Amino acid sequence: MVSKNEGGMRYPSIDKLLNKIDSKYKLVYAASKVARIIEQENLKVEGAKCVKSVGIALEEILNDKVDITFET
């Protein structure tokens, strides 16, 4: 299977993602939770540039399509 994002993890940009979520660790946690939902419910995301569920989850986070709240 050929990925639409052949340049590796260049999109979405980690810098832009860290403007949405202030910690790389929180970002990984959130992306994994969203990716699991995408996989389990077999969701199709229109206009996604990434093929894999984690990449799609990161795109959704970047585009503010996911509401994420962290407990402190």
pLDDT tens for the chain, 72 residues long, are 444 555 555 788 999 999 999 999 999 999 999 999 999 999 998 999 999 999 999 999 999 999 989 887
* Rounded Cα distance, 15 and 19, in Å: 7
Q: Give the whole-angstrom CA distance, residue 24 versus residue 13.
A: 12
**pLDDT of amino acid 1:** 42
Please measure the distance between the N-terminal and C-terminal CA atoms of the chain and give it in whole angstroms: 41
Q: How confident is the model at residue 11, as a pLDDT?
A: 81
